[in-house]
Copies of this chain bind each other. A is one copy, B any other.
């Protein structure tokens, strides 16, 4: 087998066989295939695409490169995957919530990527919280309390890990089949029977249009179904931050508030409504992809009960305790600055990606791979698109620990991200489409 011939075949838009894909991927993972040939294949794939059969084969090869968790009752084991957004914190509630509903959620998550936050970074803002459980401890905890939330271990899909690193530095991240295989191999490796996808579109998402989001959702669904998963997806709007807070500890605080019914850093319950509603919607679908035979209305009731009764919070607290986290040691950050409305009028739109970048400027995310994040920094978003504001009214509050960071650049970005309208604005529904 000549690697250049396989690259050429893909370059010329032919379908690669499972054997050819395995030759390249396994060769690269083991170090036998040089990285320059893998990067050429990745770029050829970016342009030529992959068929459904190829994408599923690639997923399988990545899956087979590492270990796979196995649950006896996989019909009760579910997860959710979000394509990432700003203020997107539903995972933190969903895992304990579904556990409280009698399902198992073995959730492996990532760190912040680009302008979006990452579940692992958020969890690690809780003093002591460990996300680096071994695969055995991970499974044990899921069997015990119904959920665990960890970062991806080296035992899971090492091929994907190595290839993803290469994609990142060769401008080959944005390829639908590569994205699908990367996401799905890791999810399938969790040992789940059902998966709900939260595919986001809009100014704060990676997919800027609804059509792109739908293509991604369809691709991910096909791969999941090819591997025997029950899959449902929501197409949801990310034209503004989800909920009231963007950051790490401030997002944890918002989740705790949603699970307990309390206020959070001066924000009242209703400011989290969108986040709570989306969480309930996703949880309802997660029950639908499990083998709990339950009508949607019934499932939704069960979810709301588990959330409002405090059971979800209880499970979250248990999980924190088992993973070394100390909720009592949380010291909430303090407000150190505000960005006020420059004009009176209706909020017409946010450049949500720019708000995410502003949060990174504040230290809530990484500019380069080795940056340390500051778990205490973040911001509150006071207004939703369509809200009426008066010039001078606070739009954003900036939070940090005792040492207040320089925030000139972040404030400028935030200021520029807002557009005002004199006339009322027709708002977009949060959940655009479900299947």
Mark A156-199 against chain B: 1 for CB-CB distance below 8 A, else 0: 00000000001011111000000000000000000000000000
Chain B residues within 8 Å of A38, by CB: 36
Contact of B171 with A44 in the complex, beta carbons under 8 Å = yes
Determine the distance from Cα of A47 to Cα of B171 in the docked complex, in whole angstroms: 14
Stretch at the interface among A3-11, A114-122, A387-395, A415-423: A3-11
Chain B residues within 8 Å of A307, by CB: none
Contact of B34 with A171 in the complex, beta carbons under 8 Å = no
Mark A34-58 against chain B: 1 for CB-CB distance below 8 A, else 0: 1111111011101100000000000
- Nearest-CB residue, chain B, relative to A10: B171
Instruction: Given the known inter-chain contacts A36-B36, A36-B166, please indicate yes or no for A171 contacting B42, CB distance below 8 A.
Output: no
Chain B residues within 8 Å of A46, by CB: 11, 44
- Nearest-CB residue, chain B, relative to A42: B40
Contact of A171 with B36 in the complex, beta carbons under 8 Å = no
Task: List which A1-41 residues lie within 8 A (CB) of chain B.
Answer: 3-5, 7-8, 11, 34-40
Determine the distance from Cα of A43 to Cα of B34 in the docked complex, in whole angstroms: 16
Find A4's partner among B5, B42, B44, B168 (CB 8 Å cutoff). B168
Interface range on chain A (Cβ under 8 Å from partner): 20 to 34
Contact of B35 with A170 in the complex, beta carbons under 8 Å = no
Find A43's partner among B3, B44, B168 (CB 8 Å cutoff). B44
Chain B residues within 8 Å of A47, by CB: 43-44, 47
Interface centre among A4, A7, A43, A168 (most CB of B within 10 A): A43
- Nearest-CB residue, chain B, relative to A3: B169
CB distance from A174 to the nearest CB of B (A): 9
- Nearest-CB residue, chain B, relative to A11: B171
Determine the distance from Cα of A8 to Cα of B42 in the docked complex, in whole angstroms: 13
Chain B residues within 8 Å of A36, by CB: 34-36, 38-39, 166, 169-170
Chain B residues within 8 Å of A7, by CB: 43, 170-171
CB distance from A386 to the nearest CB of B (A): 33
CB distance from A166 to the nearest CB of B (A): 6
CB distance from A129 to the nearest CB of B (A): 32
Chain B residues within 8 Å of A170, by CB: 4, 7, 36-37, 40
Interface centre among A3, A37, A40, A47 (most CB of B within 10 A): A40
Contact of B172 with A40 in the complex, beta carbons under 8 Å = yes
Instruction: Given the known inter-chain contacts A34-B35, A46-B11, please indicate yes or no for A40 contacting B4, CB distance below 8 A.
Output: no
Interface centre among A166, A168, A172 (most CB of B within 10 A): A172
Query: What 4 A-B pairs are tightest by C-beta distance, nearest first?
Result: A43-B43, A8-B171, A40-B170, A7-B171
Would you list 6 pairs from A and B whose C-beta atoms are within 8 A, ordered by A residue?
A: A4-B171, A7-B43, A11-B43, A11-B46, A43-B47, A44-B46
What 19 additional pairs, Cβ within 8 angstroms, besides A39-B39, A40-B170, A43-B47? A4-B168, A4-B171, A5-B171, A7-B43, A7-B170, A7-B171, A11-B172, A36-B39, A37-B39, A37-B169, A39-B40, A39-B43, A40-B40, A40-B42, A40-B43, A40-B172, A43-B44, A44-B46, A44-B47
